[in-house]
Structure 1
Protein backbone atom coordinates (compact mmCIF):
# COMPACT_ATOMS: atom_id res chain seq x y z
CA UNK A 1 0.00 0.00 0.00
CA UNK A 2 1.35 3.42 -0.99
CA UNK A 3 0.13 6.63 0.60
CA UNK A 4 0.12 9.63 -1.73
CA UNK A 5 -0.40 13.10 -0.28
CA UNK A 6 -2.78 15.22 -2.37
CA UNK A 7 -2.67 18.22 -0.03
CA UNK A 8 -1.07 21.59 -0.72
CA UNK A 9 1.34 23.09 1.82
CA UNK A 10 -0.07 25.94 3.92
CA UNK A 11 2.83 28.36 3.62
CA UNK A 12 2.32 31.95 4.85
CA UNK A 13 4.84 33.10 2.23
CA UNK A 14 2.19 32.37 -0.42
CA UNK A 15 0.01 35.15 0.94
CA UNK A 16 2.45 37.66 -0.56
CA UNK A 17 2.14 36.05 -4.00
CA UNK A 18 -1.52 36.98 -4.41
CA UNK A 19 -2.30 39.76 -6.89
CA UNK A 20 -3.52 42.99 -5.22
CA UNK A 21 -7.12 42.36 -6.34
CA UNK A 22 -7.15 39.14 -4.30
CA UNK A 23 -5.29 40.37 -1.22
CA UNK A 24 -8.56 40.28 0.74
CA UNK A 25 -8.66 36.50 0.21
CA UNK A 26 -5.22 35.76 1.72
CA UNK A 27 -6.85 33.61 4.40
CA UNK A 28 -7.86 31.10 1.71
CA UNK A 29 -4.19 30.59 0.80
CA UNK A 30 -2.59 30.19 4.22
CA UNK A 31 -2.89 31.46 7.78
CA UNK A 32 -0.64 34.04 9.33
CA UNK A 33 1.72 32.12 11.59
CA UNK A 34 3.67 33.47 14.55
CA UNK A 35 6.48 31.01 15.31
CA UNK A 36 7.65 30.49 18.90
CA UNK A 37 11.01 28.72 18.93
CA UNK A 38 11.98 26.76 22.08
CA UNK A 39 15.49 28.31 22.08
CA UNK A 40 14.21 31.89 21.78
CA UNK A 41 12.53 34.22 24.25
CA UNK A 42 9.01 33.73 22.90
CA UNK A 43 9.12 29.96 23.38
CA UNK A 44 10.69 30.36 26.81
CA UNK A 45 8.19 33.01 27.90
CA UNK A 46 5.13 30.93 27.02
CA UNK A 47 6.59 27.86 28.75
CA UNK A 48 7.33 29.84 31.90
CA UNK A 49 3.95 31.55 31.94
CA UNK A 50 2.24 28.15 31.75
CA UNK A 51 4.41 26.31 34.29
CA UNK A 52 5.07 29.15 36.71
CA UNK A 53 8.83 29.21 36.45
CA UNK A 54 11.60 31.56 35.26
CA UNK A 55 14.03 31.25 32.34
CA UNK A 56 16.79 30.11 34.70
CA UNK A 57 14.56 27.21 35.82
CA UNK A 58 14.21 25.71 32.31
CA UNK A 59 15.47 22.08 32.46
CA UNK A 60 17.62 22.34 29.32
CA UNK A 61 17.64 26.10 28.98
CA UNK A 62 14.82 25.97 26.45
CA UNK A 63 11.06 26.44 26.42
CA UNK A 64 8.78 24.79 23.89
CA UNK A 65 8.00 25.19 20.23
CA UNK A 66 4.60 26.66 19.52
CA UNK A 67 2.80 28.50 16.74
CA UNK A 68 -0.09 30.95 16.75
CA UNK A 69 -2.29 30.73 13.66
CA UNK A 70 -4.51 33.70 12.77
CA UNK A 71 -6.39 35.14 9.81
CA UNK A 72 -7.32 32.03 7.91
CA UNK A 73 -10.53 30.83 6.32
CA UNK A 74 -12.39 27.56 6.76
CA UNK A 75 -11.68 27.26 3.01
CA UNK A 76 -7.91 27.52 3.49
CA UNK A 77 -5.66 25.47 1.21
CA UNK A 78 -6.84 21.99 0.31
CA UNK A 79 -10.30 21.90 1.85
CA UNK A 80 -13.64 20.09 1.79
CA UNK A 81 -16.77 22.11 1.11
CA UNK A 82 -19.85 20.95 2.98
CA UNK A 83 -23.22 21.47 1.24
CA UNK A 84 -23.80 24.57 3.41
CA UNK A 85 -21.15 26.39 1.37
CA UNK A 86 -23.42 26.30 -1.68
CA UNK A 87 -26.58 27.40 0.10
CA UNK A 88 -28.64 27.00 3.25
CA UNK A 89 -30.76 24.22 1.73
CA UNK A 90 -29.79 21.13 -0.25
CA UNK A 91 -32.34 19.03 -2.14
CA UNK A 92 -35.11 20.68 -0.11
CA UNK A 93 -33.53 19.96 3.28
CA UNK A 94 -31.30 22.05 5.57
CA UNK A 95 -27.79 21.85 4.13
CA UNK A 96 -25.29 19.85 6.13
CA UNK A 97 -22.24 21.42 7.77
CA UNK A 98 -18.73 19.96 7.80
CA UNK A 99 -19.25 18.50 11.28
CA UNK A 100 -22.38 16.67 10.07
CA UNK A 101 -20.40 14.54 7.63
CA UNK A 102 -19.36 11.07 8.80
CA UNK A 103 -15.86 9.75 8.16
CA UNK A 104 -17.12 6.83 6.09
CA UNK A 105 -18.56 9.36 3.64
CA UNK A 106 -15.07 10.82 3.25
CA UNK A 107 -13.16 7.61 2.46
CA UNK A 108 -14.19 6.62 -1.03
CA UNK A 109 -13.05 4.80 -4.18
CA UNK A 110 -11.36 7.35 -6.42
CA UNK A 111 -11.03 8.09 -10.11
CA UNK A 112 -8.87 10.71 -11.82
CA UNK A 113 -10.64 12.44 -14.69
CA UNK A 114 -7.79 13.86 -16.74
CA UNK A 115 -9.26 16.62 -18.89
CA UNK A 116 -5.92 18.25 -19.75
CA UNK A 117 -6.04 17.30 -23.46
CA UNK A 118 -9.21 19.34 -23.98
CA UNK A 119 -9.73 21.83 -21.17
CA UNK A 120 -8.60 25.44 -21.62
CA UNK A 121 -8.01 28.15 -19.05
CA UNK A 122 -11.02 30.33 -18.36
CA UNK A 123 -13.39 27.99 -20.23
CA UNK A 124 -16.00 25.42 -19.21
CA UNK A 125 -15.12 21.76 -18.76
CA UNK A 126 -17.86 20.21 -20.88
CA UNK A 127 -19.80 16.98 -20.36
CA UNK A 128 -18.15 15.64 -23.51
CA UNK A 129 -14.72 16.18 -21.95
CA UNK A 130 -15.85 14.47 -18.76
CA UNK A 131 -17.18 11.49 -20.72
CA UNK A 132 -13.86 11.11 -22.53
CA UNK A 133 -11.96 11.26 -19.24
CA UNK A 134 -14.27 8.70 -17.64
CA UNK A 135 -13.84 6.35 -20.59
CA UNK A 136 -10.04 6.60 -20.20
CA UNK A 137 -10.26 5.22 -16.64
CA UNK A 138 -11.60 1.90 -17.94
CA UNK A 139 -14.59 1.75 -15.64
CA UNK A 140 -17.91 3.55 -15.13
CA UNK A 141 -18.60 5.93 -12.27
CA UNK A 142 -20.21 4.07 -9.36
CA UNK A 143 -22.39 5.30 -6.54
CA UNK A 144 -20.26 6.95 -3.86
CA UNK A 145 -17.18 7.51 -6.01
CA UNK A 146 -14.78 10.41 -5.52
CA UNK A 147 -13.98 12.03 -8.87
CA UNK A 148 -10.77 14.06 -8.98
CA UNK A 149 -10.55 16.35 -11.99
CA UNK A 150 -7.03 16.89 -13.27
CA UNK A 151 -7.00 20.19 -15.12
CA UNK A 152 -3.24 20.67 -15.01
CA UNK A 153 -3.54 23.84 -12.95
CA UNK A 154 -1.12 22.54 -10.34
CA UNK A 155 1.73 23.34 -12.75
CA UNK A 156 1.19 27.04 -12.01
CA UNK A 157 2.34 28.80 -8.85
CA UNK A 158 0.37 31.51 -7.09
CA UNK A 159 2.52 34.27 -8.58
CA UNK A 160 1.57 33.16 -12.11
CA UNK A 161 -1.54 34.84 -13.59
CA UNK A 162 -2.62 31.51 -15.13
CA UNK A 163 -3.07 30.06 -11.64
CA UNK A 164 -6.25 32.16 -11.42
CA UNK A 165 -7.47 31.30 -14.93
CA UNK A 166 -8.60 27.74 -14.32
CA UNK A 167 -10.89 25.66 -16.52
CA UNK A 168 -14.11 25.49 -14.53
CA UNK A 169 -17.13 23.33 -13.97
CA UNK A 170 -20.66 24.42 -14.78
CA UNK A 171 -24.00 23.50 -13.26
CA UNK A 172 -24.55 21.06 -16.13
CA UNK A 173 -21.23 19.31 -15.63
CA UNK A 174 -21.57 19.16 -11.86
CA UNK A 175 -25.07 17.66 -12.01
CA UNK A 176 -23.89 15.23 -14.65
CA UNK A 177 -21.23 13.83 -12.32
CA UNK A 178 -23.49 13.68 -9.27
CA UNK A 179 -26.17 12.09 -11.45
CA UNK A 180 -23.71 9.30 -12.24
CA UNK A 181 -23.36 8.67 -8.49
CA UNK A 182 -20.33 10.70 -7.46
CA UNK A 183 -20.54 12.07 -3.92
CA UNK A 184 -17.14 13.81 -3.78
CA UNK A 185 -15.96 16.14 -6.54
CA UNK A 186 -12.34 17.31 -6.44
CA UNK A 187 -10.15 19.56 -8.54
CA UNK A 188 -6.49 20.55 -8.71
CA UNK A 189 -7.61 24.11 -9.49
CA UNK A 190 -7.98 27.00 -7.04
CA UNK A 191 -11.75 26.87 -7.63
CA UNK A 192 -14.40 24.45 -8.87
CA UNK A 193 -16.18 27.02 -11.02
CA UNK A 194 -14.89 29.32 -13.73
CA UNK A 195 -12.71 32.22 -12.55
CA UNK A 196 -14.76 34.92 -10.83
CA UNK A 197 -13.89 37.54 -13.47
CA UNK A 198 -15.15 35.22 -16.23
CA UNK A 199 -18.45 34.56 -14.44
CA UNK A 200 -18.84 38.28 -13.78
CA UNK A 201 -18.29 39.07 -17.47
CA UNK A 202 -20.88 36.44 -18.50
CA UNK A 203 -23.36 37.93 -16.04
CA UNK A 204 -22.84 41.49 -17.25
CA UNK A 205 -23.18 40.41 -20.87
CA UNK A 206 -26.29 38.26 -20.44
CA UNK A 207 -27.94 39.61 -17.29
CA UNK A 208 -28.50 35.97 -16.31
CA UNK A 209 -27.80 35.56 -12.59
CA UNK A 210 -27.77 31.77 -13.01
CA UNK A 211 -24.23 32.00 -14.45
CA UNK A 212 -22.86 33.21 -11.12
CA UNK A 213 -21.09 30.35 -9.29
CA UNK A 214 -23.33 27.82 -11.02
CA UNK A 215 -21.00 24.86 -10.45
CA UNK A 216 -21.22 25.27 -6.69
CA UNK A 217 -24.91 26.19 -6.75
CA UNK A 218 -25.65 22.84 -8.43
CA UNK A 219 -24.98 21.22 -5.04
CA UNK A 220 -28.21 22.78 -3.72
CA UNK A 221 -30.07 20.40 -6.07
CA UNK A 222 -28.10 17.21 -5.43
CA UNK A 223 -25.74 16.77 -2.47
CA UNK A 224 -22.02 16.26 -2.93
CA UNK A 225 -18.84 17.51 -1.30
CA UNK A 226 -16.50 19.72 -3.35
CA UNK A 227 -12.76 19.55 -2.68
CA UNK A 228 -10.47 22.26 -4.07
CA UNK A 229 -6.73 22.92 -4.31
CA UNK A 230 -5.67 19.30 -4.66
CA UNK A 231 -2.15 18.54 -5.83
CA UNK A 232 -0.07 15.57 -7.01
CA UNK A 233 -2.88 13.99 -9.05
CA UNK A 234 -0.27 12.93 -11.61
CA UNK A 235 1.09 10.42 -9.07
CA UNK A 236 -2.19 8.48 -9.12
CA UNK A 237 -3.49 5.80 -11.46
CA UNK A 238 -6.73 6.78 -13.19
CA UNK A 239 -8.68 4.26 -11.08
CA UNK A 240 -8.19 1.44 -8.57
CA UNK A 241 -7.42 3.47 -5.44
CA UNK A 242 -9.20 4.97 -2.44
CA UNK A 243 -8.99 8.51 -1.12
CA UNK A 244 -9.41 9.76 2.44
CA UNK A 245 -10.57 13.35 2.83
CA UNK A 246 -10.00 14.27 6.48
CA UNK A 247 -11.25 17.79 7.28
CA UNK A 248 -10.83 19.49 10.62
CA UNK A 249 -13.95 18.94 12.73
CA UNK A 250 -15.21 22.53 12.92
CA UNK A 251 -18.64 23.00 14.47
CA UNK A 252 -21.35 24.35 12.14
CA UNK A 253 -18.88 25.41 9.41
CA UNK A 254 -19.38 25.33 5.65
CA UNK A 255 -15.92 23.85 5.04
CA UNK A 256 -12.66 22.87 6.68
CA UNK A 257 -9.01 22.51 5.67
CA UNK A 258 -8.27 18.83 5.07
CA UNK A 259 -5.43 16.36 4.76
CA UNK A 260 -6.26 14.42 1.60
CA UNK A 261 -4.44 11.12 1.12
CA UNK A 262 -4.75 8.51 -1.63
CA UNK A 263 -4.31 4.84 -0.75
CA UNK A 264 -2.89 2.94 -3.72
CA UNK A 265 -2.38 -0.83 -3.65
Structure 2
Protein backbone atom coordinates (compact mmCIF):
# COMPACT_ATOMS: atom_id res chain seq x y z
CA UNK A 1 0.00 0.00 0.00
CA UNK A 2 1.32 3.43 -0.94
CA UNK A 3 -0.11 6.79 0.13
CA UNK A 4 0.94 10.17 -1.23
CA UNK A 5 -0.46 13.60 -1.99
CA UNK A 6 -1.11 14.85 -5.50
CA UNK A 7 -1.77 18.52 -4.95
CA UNK A 8 -4.31 18.72 -2.12
CA UNK A 9 -5.67 15.24 -2.83
CA UNK A 10 -4.59 12.22 -0.79
CA UNK A 11 -4.09 9.16 -3.00
CA UNK A 12 -3.74 5.58 -1.76
CA UNK A 13 -2.69 2.78 -4.09
CA UNK A 14 -3.34 -0.83 -3.07
CA UNK A 15 -1.59 -3.53 -5.08
CA UNK A 16 -4.10 -6.31 -5.75
CA UNK A 17 -1.66 -8.49 -7.71
CA UNK A 18 0.14 -11.62 -6.59
CA UNK A 19 3.92 -11.73 -7.07
CA UNK A 20 5.14 -14.38 -9.51
CA UNK A 21 7.99 -16.30 -7.90
CA UNK A 22 9.99 -19.49 -8.33
CA UNK A 23 9.13 -20.29 -4.71
CA UNK A 24 5.74 -21.62 -5.84
CA UNK A 25 6.66 -22.99 -9.28
CA UNK A 26 6.88 -26.60 -8.07
CA UNK A 27 3.16 -26.81 -7.23
CA UNK A 28 1.48 -24.31 -9.53
CA UNK A 29 -1.30 -25.84 -11.68
CA UNK A 30 -0.06 -23.53 -14.46
CA UNK A 31 3.68 -24.11 -14.27
CA UNK A 32 6.16 -21.27 -14.60
CA UNK A 33 9.91 -20.77 -14.39
CA UNK A 34 12.00 -17.61 -13.98
CA UNK A 35 15.65 -17.73 -15.05
CA UNK A 36 17.68 -14.80 -13.70
CA UNK A 37 20.63 -13.29 -15.59
CA UNK A 38 22.85 -11.25 -13.25
CA UNK A 39 24.89 -8.15 -14.13
CA UNK A 40 28.01 -10.34 -14.19
CA UNK A 41 26.49 -13.17 -16.25
CA UNK A 42 25.35 -10.76 -18.95
CA UNK A 43 28.98 -9.93 -19.74
CA UNK A 44 29.21 -13.18 -21.68
CA UNK A 45 26.16 -12.17 -23.71
CA UNK A 46 27.47 -8.66 -24.40
CA UNK A 47 30.79 -10.12 -25.52
CA UNK A 48 29.04 -12.47 -27.93
CA UNK A 49 26.68 -9.81 -29.30
CA UNK A 50 28.93 -6.75 -29.39
CA UNK A 51 32.48 -7.88 -28.69
CA UNK A 52 32.55 -5.90 -25.44
CA UNK A 53 34.87 -6.97 -22.62
CA UNK A 54 34.31 -6.65 -18.88
CA UNK A 55 36.67 -3.66 -18.80
CA UNK A 56 34.40 -1.79 -21.22
CA UNK A 57 31.56 -1.67 -18.69
CA UNK A 58 31.42 0.75 -15.74
CA UNK A 59 32.37 -1.23 -12.61
CA UNK A 60 32.46 -4.36 -14.75
CA UNK A 61 28.69 -4.73 -14.67
CA UNK A 62 26.43 -5.36 -17.65
CA UNK A 63 22.65 -5.56 -17.51
CA UNK A 64 20.31 -7.73 -15.47
CA UNK A 65 17.59 -9.64 -17.29
CA UNK A 66 15.15 -12.47 -16.75
CA UNK A 67 13.78 -15.18 -19.03
CA UNK A 68 10.32 -16.30 -17.97
CA UNK A 69 8.43 -19.36 -19.15
CA UNK A 70 4.77 -19.28 -18.14
CA UNK A 71 1.16 -19.56 -19.20
CA UNK A 72 -0.96 -16.50 -19.88
CA UNK A 73 -3.03 -17.85 -16.97
CA UNK A 74 -0.14 -17.78 -14.51
CA UNK A 75 -0.12 -15.21 -11.73
CA UNK A 76 -2.66 -12.40 -11.59
CA UNK A 77 -4.25 -12.24 -15.03
CA UNK A 78 -7.35 -11.20 -16.95
CA UNK A 79 -9.27 -13.87 -18.88
CA UNK A 80 -10.65 -12.81 -22.25
CA UNK A 81 -14.01 -14.09 -23.60
CA UNK A 82 -12.06 -16.28 -26.06
CA UNK A 83 -10.88 -18.34 -23.05
CA UNK A 84 -14.43 -19.58 -22.48
CA UNK A 85 -15.15 -20.55 -26.09
CA UNK A 86 -14.60 -19.52 -29.73
CA UNK A 87 -17.86 -17.55 -29.84
CA UNK A 88 -19.92 -15.44 -27.47
CA UNK A 89 -23.52 -14.53 -28.20
CA UNK A 90 -23.12 -15.95 -31.70
CA UNK A 91 -20.17 -13.69 -32.57
CA UNK A 92 -16.43 -14.34 -32.51
CA UNK A 93 -15.27 -14.08 -28.89
CA UNK A 94 -12.79 -11.28 -28.15
CA UNK A 95 -9.18 -12.20 -27.52
CA UNK A 96 -7.22 -10.26 -24.91
CA UNK A 97 -5.82 -7.78 -27.45
CA UNK A 98 -9.37 -6.97 -28.58
CA UNK A 99 -10.81 -6.27 -25.14
CA UNK A 100 -12.06 -2.66 -24.70
CA UNK A 101 -9.92 -0.80 -22.18
CA UNK A 102 -13.11 0.70 -20.74
CA UNK A 103 -13.93 -2.73 -19.31
CA UNK A 104 -10.67 -2.73 -17.31
CA UNK A 105 -10.92 0.68 -15.66
CA UNK A 106 -13.85 1.52 -13.41
CA UNK A 107 -15.50 1.82 -10.04
CA UNK A 108 -14.59 -1.06 -7.75
CA UNK A 109 -16.96 -2.96 -5.47
CA UNK A 110 -15.80 -5.60 -2.99
CA UNK A 111 -18.27 -8.37 -2.15
CA UNK A 112 -17.16 -10.15 1.02
CA UNK A 113 -17.72 -13.90 0.65
CA UNK A 114 -15.20 -15.04 3.26
CA UNK A 115 -17.96 -16.93 5.08
CA UNK A 116 -18.29 -19.36 2.16
CA UNK A 117 -16.31 -22.59 2.52
CA UNK A 118 -13.99 -24.26 0.01
CA UNK A 119 -15.96 -25.89 -2.77
CA UNK A 120 -19.19 -24.03 -2.03
CA UNK A 121 -21.10 -21.99 -4.59
CA UNK A 122 -21.49 -18.24 -4.28
CA UNK A 123 -25.04 -17.80 -5.54
CA UNK A 124 -27.07 -14.89 -6.84
CA UNK A 125 -28.78 -14.77 -3.44
CA UNK A 126 -25.37 -14.42 -1.75
CA UNK A 127 -24.53 -11.54 -4.07
CA UNK A 128 -27.84 -9.78 -3.51
CA UNK A 129 -27.58 -10.20 0.25
CA UNK A 130 -24.10 -8.68 0.28
CA UNK A 131 -25.16 -5.78 -1.92
CA UNK A 132 -28.01 -5.11 0.50
CA UNK A 133 -25.64 -5.30 3.46
CA UNK A 134 -23.23 -2.73 2.02
CA UNK A 135 -26.13 -0.65 0.65
CA UNK A 136 -24.93 -0.55 -2.93
CA UNK A 137 -26.64 -0.83 -6.31
CA UNK A 138 -24.52 -2.11 -9.18
CA UNK A 139 -23.94 0.22 -12.13
CA UNK A 140 -22.77 -0.59 -15.67
CA UNK A 141 -19.00 -1.11 -15.94
CA UNK A 142 -18.53 -1.52 -12.20
CA UNK A 143 -15.63 -3.87 -11.46
CA UNK A 144 -16.77 -6.51 -8.98
CA UNK A 145 -14.14 -8.06 -6.70
CA UNK A 146 -15.13 -11.29 -4.94
CA UNK A 147 -13.25 -11.58 -1.64
CA UNK A 148 -12.64 -15.10 -0.33
CA UNK A 149 -9.22 -14.54 1.34
CA UNK A 150 -7.88 -17.60 -0.48
CA UNK A 151 -4.94 -15.46 -1.60
CA UNK A 152 -3.49 -15.84 1.90
CA UNK A 153 -2.78 -19.46 0.93
CA UNK A 154 -1.14 -18.83 -2.46
CA UNK A 155 2.23 -19.91 -1.04
CA UNK A 156 0.85 -23.33 -0.08
CA UNK A 157 0.44 -26.41 -2.30
CA UNK A 158 -3.22 -27.14 -2.98
CA UNK A 159 -4.39 -23.52 -2.75
CA UNK A 160 -6.28 -24.08 -6.01
CA UNK A 161 -8.72 -26.31 -4.10
CA UNK A 162 -9.35 -23.95 -1.17
CA UNK A 163 -11.88 -21.46 -2.54
CA UNK A 164 -15.58 -20.99 -2.99
CA UNK A 165 -16.57 -20.17 -6.56
CA UNK A 166 -19.13 -18.04 -8.33
CA UNK A 167 -22.18 -19.90 -9.64
CA UNK A 168 -23.60 -19.33 -13.08
CA UNK A 169 -26.64 -17.49 -11.72
CA UNK A 170 -24.44 -15.11 -9.73
CA UNK A 171 -22.29 -14.37 -12.77
CA UNK A 172 -25.37 -13.87 -14.92
CA UNK A 173 -26.83 -11.47 -12.35
CA UNK A 174 -23.71 -9.29 -12.42
CA UNK A 175 -23.23 -9.32 -16.20
CA UNK A 176 -26.88 -8.52 -16.88
CA UNK A 177 -26.47 -5.44 -14.67
CA UNK A 178 -23.74 -4.19 -17.00
CA UNK A 179 -20.64 -5.58 -15.25
CA UNK A 180 -17.89 -6.49 -17.70
CA UNK A 181 -15.09 -7.41 -15.29
CA UNK A 182 -15.35 -9.74 -12.28
CA UNK A 183 -12.31 -10.56 -10.12
CA UNK A 184 -11.61 -13.09 -7.40
CA UNK A 185 -8.73 -13.63 -4.97
CA UNK A 186 -8.48 -17.33 -5.80
CA UNK A 187 -7.12 -19.63 -8.50
CA UNK A 188 -10.35 -19.52 -10.48
CA UNK A 189 -13.75 -17.86 -10.59
CA UNK A 190 -15.59 -21.17 -10.62
CA UNK A 191 -15.44 -23.70 -7.81
CA UNK A 192 -12.28 -25.87 -7.60
CA UNK A 193 -11.87 -28.44 -10.34
CA UNK A 194 -11.75 -31.37 -7.93
CA UNK A 195 -15.29 -30.54 -6.75
CA UNK A 196 -16.66 -29.82 -10.22
CA UNK A 197 -15.04 -32.95 -11.69
CA UNK A 198 -16.48 -35.23 -9.02
CA UNK A 199 -19.97 -33.85 -9.58
CA UNK A 200 -19.64 -34.13 -13.37
CA UNK A 201 -18.64 -37.80 -13.07
CA UNK A 202 -21.76 -38.40 -10.99
CA UNK A 203 -23.85 -37.01 -13.86
CA UNK A 204 -24.17 -33.31 -13.00
CA UNK A 205 -22.33 -31.88 -15.99
CA UNK A 206 -24.23 -28.58 -16.09
CA UNK A 207 -22.23 -27.17 -13.19
CA UNK A 208 -18.83 -27.88 -14.83
CA UNK A 209 -17.07 -24.52 -15.33
CA UNK A 210 -20.49 -22.88 -15.33
CA UNK A 211 -19.37 -19.29 -14.71
CA UNK A 212 -16.69 -19.47 -17.37
CA UNK A 213 -19.07 -21.02 -19.88
CA UNK A 214 -21.69 -18.33 -19.23
CA UNK A 215 -19.24 -16.10 -21.11
CA UNK A 216 -20.13 -18.02 -24.28
CA UNK A 217 -23.57 -16.36 -24.04
CA UNK A 218 -22.57 -12.83 -22.98
CA UNK A 219 -19.06 -11.42 -23.05
CA UNK A 220 -17.32 -10.53 -19.82
CA UNK A 221 -13.82 -10.72 -18.32
CA UNK A 222 -12.42 -12.32 -15.19
CA UNK A 223 -9.45 -11.39 -13.04
CA UNK A 224 -8.07 -14.48 -11.34
CA UNK A 225 -5.47 -14.70 -8.55
CA UNK A 226 -6.10 -11.28 -7.05
CA UNK A 227 -4.50 -10.55 -3.68
CA UNK A 228 -4.86 -8.13 -0.76
CA UNK A 229 -8.59 -7.49 -1.10
CA UNK A 230 -8.71 -7.36 2.69
CA UNK A 231 -6.60 -4.16 2.56
CA UNK A 232 -9.29 -2.19 0.76
CA UNK A 233 -10.91 -0.22 3.62
CA UNK A 234 -14.30 0.38 1.98
CA UNK A 235 -16.65 -1.87 -0.02
CA UNK A 236 -16.98 0.77 -2.77
CA UNK A 237 -15.90 4.32 -3.54
CA UNK A 238 -12.57 3.43 -5.15
CA UNK A 239 -11.24 2.85 -8.67
CA UNK A 240 -9.78 -0.35 -10.10
CA UNK A 241 -7.16 -0.40 -12.86
CA UNK A 242 -6.64 -3.83 -14.45
CA UNK A 243 -5.21 -3.37 -17.95
CA UNK A 244 -3.98 -6.72 -19.35
CA UNK A 245 -0.77 -7.18 -21.31
CA UNK A 246 -1.54 -7.06 -25.03
CA UNK A 247 -0.85 -10.47 -26.60
CA UNK A 248 -2.11 -11.13 -30.11
CA UNK A 249 -4.87 -13.72 -30.27
CA UNK A 250 -4.45 -14.74 -26.62
CA UNK A 251 -7.05 -16.04 -24.18
CA UNK A 252 -5.61 -14.04 -21.27
CA UNK A 253 -3.02 -11.46 -20.30
CA UNK A 254 -1.10 -10.75 -17.11
CA UNK A 255 -2.13 -7.63 -15.21
CA UNK A 256 -0.82 -5.45 -12.38
CA UNK A 257 -4.18 -4.76 -10.77
CA UNK A 258 -4.39 -1.71 -8.50
CA UNK A 259 -7.12 -0.16 -6.35
CA UNK A 260 -7.00 3.66 -6.19
CA UNK A 261 -8.56 5.57 -3.30
CA UNK A 262 -8.70 9.37 -3.38
CA UNK A 263 -9.56 11.80 -0.58
CA UNK A 264 -9.91 15.56 -0.57
Deviation at 1:162, TM superposition (A): 5.2
Deviation at 1:179, TM superposition (A): 1.4
State the SS of the aligned residue for 1:111.
Answer: strand
State the SS of the aligned residue for 2:239.
Answer: strand
Structure 1 residues 37 and 174: CA distance shift in structure 2, 3 A: same
State the SS of the aligned residue for 1:99.
Answer: helix
Give the equivalent residue in structure 1 for 2:45. 46
Give runs of aligned pairs for residues 202-213 of structure 1, distance below 5 A: 202-206=199-203, 208-213=204-209
State whether residues 111 and 137 of structure 1, in contact with CA within 8 Å, keep that contact through their aligned partners in structure 2: no
Give the equivalent residue in structure 2 for 1:65. 64
* Alpha-carbon distance between aligned partners in 1 of 2:67 and 2:118, rounded to the nearest angstrom: 37
Give the equivalent residue in structure 2 for 1:149. 146
Higher mean C-alpha deviation, range 139-148 or range 162-171:
162-171
State whether residues 77 and 225 of structure 2, in contact with CA within 8 Å, keep that contact through their aligned partners in structure 1: yes
Give the equivalent residue in structure 2 for 1:5. 15
Give the equivalent residue in structure 2 for 1:115. 113
State the SS of the aligned residue for 2:256.
Answer: strand
Q: Which deviations, in whole Å up to 9, do the C-alpha atoms of 1:205-264 show, x marking residues without a partner?
A: 12x432211110011111110110001111111000110102111011010111101111
Give structure 2 stretches of 5+ with no counterpart: 1-10
What TM-score do you get using the length of structure 2 for normalisation?
0.90
1:90 corresponds to 2:88: yes
Q: Which deviations, in whole Å up to 9, do the C-alpha atoms of 1:111-144 show, x marking residues without a partner?
A: 0000123x11111112121112112332200011
Deviation at 1:17, TM superposition (A): 4.0
State whether residues 6 and 260 of structure 1, in contact with CA within 8 Å, keep that contact through their aligned partners in structure 2: yes
* Alpha-carbon distance between aligned partners in 2 of 1:116 and 1:57, rounded to the nearest angstrom: 57
* Alpha-carbon distance between aligned partners in 2 of 1:88 and 1:75, rounded to the nearest angstrom: 17
* Alpha-carbon distance between aligned partners in 2 of 1:155 and 1:57, rounded to the nearest angstrom: 47
Higher mean C-alpha deviation, range 3-12 or range 100-109:
100-109
What TM-score do you get using the length of structure 1 for normalisation?
0.90
Q: CA RMSD in A?
A: 1.5
Give the equivalent residue in structure 1 for 2:4. none
Q: Which deviations, in whole Å up to 9, do the C-alpha atoms of 1:162-185 show, x marking residues without a partner?
A: 552210112111111111221111
Give the equivalent residue in structure 2 for 1:234. 230
Give the equivalent residue in structure 2 for 1:16. 26
How many residues are treated as equivalent by the alignment? Answer: 251
State the SS of the aligned residue for 2:182.
Answer: strand
Structure 1 residues 96 and 157: CA distance shift in structure 2, 3 A: closer
* Alpha-carbon distance between aligned partners in 1 of 2:159 and 2:222, rounded to the nearest angstrom: 22
State whether residues 159 and 187 of structure 2, in contact with CA within 8 Å, keep that contact through their aligned partners in structure 1: no
Deviation at 1:147, TM superposition (A): 0.4
